[in-house]
Amino acid sequence: MQFGSIEAGGTKFVCAVGDEQHNLIDKMTFPTTDPEPTFQRTIDYFRQFPDIDAISISSFGPIEIRPEAPNYGYVTNTPKPNWSNVDFLGTIKAALNVPIYWTTDVNGSAYGEFKVEEAAHSNIKSLAYYTIGTGVGAGFVLNGQFLGDQGHPEMGHVRLKRHPHDLDFKGICPFHGDCLEGLVAGPTFEARLGQKGQDVPFDNEVWEIMAYYIAQAALQVTLMLRPGKIVFGGGVTSERFLEVVRRHFNSLMNNYLDVGDLQDYLTLPRVPDNGSATLGNFYLAESLYNQLQES
Amino acid sequence: MQFGSIEAGGTKFVCAVGDEQHNLIDKMTFPTTDPEPTFQRTIDYFRQFPDIDAISISSFGPIEIRPEAPNYGYVTNTPKPNWSNVDFLGTIKAALNVPIYWTTDVNGSAYGEFKVEEAAHSNIKSLAYYTIGTGVGAGFVLNGQFLGDQGHPEMGHVRLKRHPHDLDFKGICPFHGDCLEGLVAGPTFEARLGQKGQDVPFDNEVWEIMAYYIAQAALQVTLMLRPGKIVFGGGVTSERFLEVVRRHFNSLMNNYLDVGDLQDYLTLPRVPDNGSATLGNFYLAESLYNQLQES
């Protein structure tokens, strides 16, 4: 058995093929340009693997995930130029004659992390995955299913209590200004300090401010969904940074709920090399394949 | 068939009996005093109805809802005097020989609203119910199930962006100060203005401030769960006030997601006379009964 993964990010696509143990057989990464050439590279890549049994796409968004919607499978109102109202799923389906699963990039990552967590200790039932990078978003797995009724979650756009030393920063979200994404996405470093995040020393108070906001996001998802675990991926995160997030989380929670050991509750991804979504896709493709066999 | 409802609030208990069409047969309300006499009145009430097939309790909290927990069925660390670590479910079960369902007060209300919504238009799949009263909390129904893995949601304790004209108010939550509950629960009127909410004229800016916070809560639950509908109950809400909440919600959302007509999306309860939880309990008791018959 072989399963395919398309991790479609706003800056790059990662296409990969895995075996039935979900081990990587092959992988190719290329920049996200306009839809047509990007889809063509994706299709050309998978045509090299005619034995693939199913593929899963986890895409940047917003995307339409409701099967009953007329534009199911589309990237919808994204600010990314030329990508609004693009039929992603339909284009790939028309070219490759295999079953294809369709979800968000962060759902794919959440699923990959959920499956390795499940393998490590089998009693996990729910997991949130936040990416803090160029954009901010989150996926959520509950009992093996994704959350979202009228669409997928958009957890990056919640509002937060502003840090007292950050009240003048307007935020960079084109829709909301100072929502979570507008306050902590990677490009906020340039907006606040005129330098890239990787160049900002860790004793700069901006890291404290960012951690305060991300801790509030973790608190929100804890209070609203009571998950088993919250994973943070994306370029802004690191173990040292997460330590600061945990400290703020603890102080915001003020012993109100017991979430267990914070070292296990708020963590970096378990899957190495940004591979969470690829692994998640292998599992999702497998699960789609099995479902179709049964029906 | 007869089903029983125990709506256990922090200030009063409402015990009721319904028929198999979920119509009210009988109801009794009494103040919540210490656990022992309150449970005794509850038990005495239901002993008048020996034909009851199942009961559902929806209780103030926090409560333990995980069946595998050693203190399943308990009210846990509530600030309400004498009610911490009290075996609510066990006490009622030991006295009344019927199956008993156990959930939170707001889940009971959410379920009642979900069922009437389902009857009114059958395509509803998820619904949030917020109570804004002495305390603030929310229940959530998704495909007929309640949310919450490591425990029930505690949506009243999220943090919010503070209103610029309200920055000096510390909030009244004993755990968190200015969380949602600390900013909009009924007693915040006395804390901010020295007078009861019912005496505060509607042109006082406090109503704008409250609406701004409640709109943020609605925005959070929308972005995190994409529900079909959000219902607001509790003493603070009214149709006139909800109009202001809708205006703030609209401006915070800034056309980012389509939630349909806000008049249908953010509403008062459909069930009249604060009856949402009682109706929800009748349905939950019925559902428990049917489940036991099948197994």
pLDDT tens track for A227-275:
999 999 999 999 999 999 999 999 999 999 999 999 999 999 999 999 9
Looking at the structure, do residues A149 and A238 belong to the same domain, yes or no? yes
**Nearest Cβ partner of A227 from B150, B161, B259?**
B150
Looking at the structure, do residues B31 and B86 belong to the same domain, yes or no? yes
d(CA B115, CA B110) in angstroms, rounded, equals 9
Q: Is A123's pLDDT higher than 90?
A: no
B151: left (phi over 0), alpha (psi -120 to 50) or beta: left
| A285 part of a folded domain | no
Looking at the structure, do residues B243 and B127 belong to the same domain, yes or no? yes
Long-range contacts of B85-92 (CB under 8 A, 24+ apart): B86/B35, B88/B8, B88/B35, B88/B39, B88/B57, B88/B59, B88/B63, B89/B57, B91/B35, B91/B39, B92/B6, B92/B39, B92/B42, B92/B43, B92/B55, B92/B57
Point out the domain boundary residue: A57, A72, A105: A105
Q: Which residue of B has its CA nearest to A66?
A: B226
Looking at the structure, do residues A36 and A93 belong to the same domain, yes or no? yes
Point out the domain boundary residue: B105, B138, B172: B105
| A110 part of a folded domain | no
**Nearest Cβ partner of B158 from A148, A175, A223?**
A223
Q: Which residue of A has its CA nearest to B141?
A: A149
Whole-number pLDDT of residue A152: 96
Q: How many CB pairs lie under 8 A apart between chains A and B?
A: 121
> CA Rg, chain B, in Å?
19
| A295 part of a folded domain | no
CA distances from B138 to B6, B61, B132, B187, B275 (A): 18, 12, 9, 18, 16
Average pLDDT over residues A130-143: 96
**Nearest Cβ partner of B221 from A126, A224, A254?**
A224
Does B227 lie at the interface with A, CB-CB under 8 angstroms? yes
- Provide the Cα torsion B28, B30, B33, B37; round to 10°: -40
Best A154, A155, A159 member to test B by mutation, with max B CBs in 10 Å, is A159
Interchain contact, A148 vs B221, CB within 8 Å: no
Looking at the structure, do residues B261 and B178 belong to the same domain, yes or no? yes
d(CA B54, CA B100) in angstroms, rounded, equals 6
The secondary element (H helix, E strand) that includes residue B168 is none
Q: List chain A residues with CB under 8 Å of B147.
A: 142, 224-226
Question: How distant is the Cα of B96 from the closest Cα of chain A, in angstroms?
Answer: 32
Number of Cβ within 10 Å of residue B97's Cβ equals 8
Whole-number pLDDT of residue A295: 86
Range of the domain at A53: 2-105
Interchain contact, A176 vs B151, CB within 8 Å: no
Whole-number pLDDT of residue A122: 74
Non-local CB neighbours of B295 within 8 Å, separated by 6+ positions: none
Question: How distant is the Cα of B176 from the closest Cα of chain A, in angstroms?
Answer: 7
Both tokens assigned to A254: 């003020």
Both tokens assigned to B231: 């219902």
Looking at the structure, do residues A198 and A87 belong to the same domain, yes or no? no
CA torsion sign, A30 to A32 to A34 to A39?
A: positive
**Nearest Cβ partner of A149 from B158, B226, B252?**
B226
d(CA B207, CA A282) in angstroms, rounded, equals 51
- Closest C-alpha among B186, B148, B127, B259 to residue B9: B186
Report chain B (295 residues): mean pLDDT per 10 consecutive residues.
Answer: 97 97 98 98 98 98 95 94 97 97 98 96 92 96 94 97 97 96 98 96 97 98 97 96 98 95 97 96 98 93
pTM score above 0.80 = yes
Does B119 lie at the interface with A, CB-CB under 8 angstroms? no
Whole-number pLDDT of residue B121: 80
Q: List chain B residues with CB under 8 Å of A126.
A: 149-150
Question: How distant is the Cα of A235 from the closest Cα of chain B, in angstroms?
Answer: 22
Average pLDDT value for chain A: 97
Contact B185, B134 (CB under 8 A): yes
What number of residues does chain A have?
295
| B20 part of a folded domain | yes
| B176 part of a folded domain | yes
**Nearest Cβ partner of A155 from B125, B224, B256?**
B224
d(CA B276, CA B292) in angstroms, rounded, equals 24
Interchain contact, A256 vs B154, CB within 8 Å: yes
CA torsion sign, B84 to B86 to B89 to B92?
A: negative
Looking at the structure, do residues B88 and B170 belong to the same domain, yes or no? no
Residue type (1 letter), A99? P
Helix/strand/coil percent split, chain A, to 5: 40, 20, 40
Q: List chain A residues with CB under 8 Å of B221.
A: 224
CATH code for the domain in which residue B140 is found: 3.30.420.40
**pLDDT tens-digit series, residues A62-101:** 999 999 999 999 999 898 999 999 999 999 999 999 999 9
Looking at the structure, do residues A154 and A228 belong to the same domain, yes or no? yes
Pairing type for strands B86-87 and B74-75 reads antiparallel
Q: Which residue of B has its CA nearest to A255?
A: B175
Q: What are phi and psi of A43, to 5 degrees?
A: -65, -45
Q: List chain A residues with CB under 8 Å of B224.
A: 140, 147, 153, 155, 158, 220-221, 224-225
Number of H helices, E strands in chain A: 9, 12
DSSP state of B63: B
Point out the domain boundary residue: A47, A72, A105: A105
| B278 part of a folded domain | no
Whole-number pLDDT of residue B223: 97
d(CA A219, CA B175) in angstroms, rounded, equals 14
d(CA A245, CA A265) in angstroms, rounded, equals 12
Looking at the structure, do residues A42 and A79 belong to the same domain, yes or no? yes
Question: How distant is the Cα of B41 from the closest Cα of chain A, in angstroms?
Answer: 31
Whole-number pLDDT of residue A121: 80
User: How many domains are there within chain A?
Assistant: 2
| A196 part of a folded domain | yes
Question: How distant is the Cα of A226 from the closest Cα of chain B, in angstroms?
Answer: 5
Does A126 lie at the interface with B, CB-CB under 8 angstroms? yes
Interchain contact, A256 vs B226, CB within 8 Å: no
Whole-number pLDDT of residue B268: 98
ipTM exceeding 0.90, yes/no: yes
Does B84 lie at the interface with A, CB-CB under 8 angstroms? no
Q: List chain A residues with CB under 8 Å of B178.
A: 161
Interchain contact, B219 vs A125, CB within 8 Å: no
Contact A42, A94 (CB under 8 A): no
Looking at the structure, do residues A69 and A132 belong to the same domain, yes or no? no
Q: Residue B10, SS3?
A: coil
Q: List chain B residues with CB under 8 Å of A153.
A: 223-226
| B18 part of a folded domain | yes
Whole-number pLDDT of residue B123: 87
Looking at the structure, do residues A138 and A54 belong to the same domain, yes or no? no
Largest pairwise CA distance in chain B? 57
Looking at the structure, do residues A130 and A250 belong to the same domain, yes or no? yes
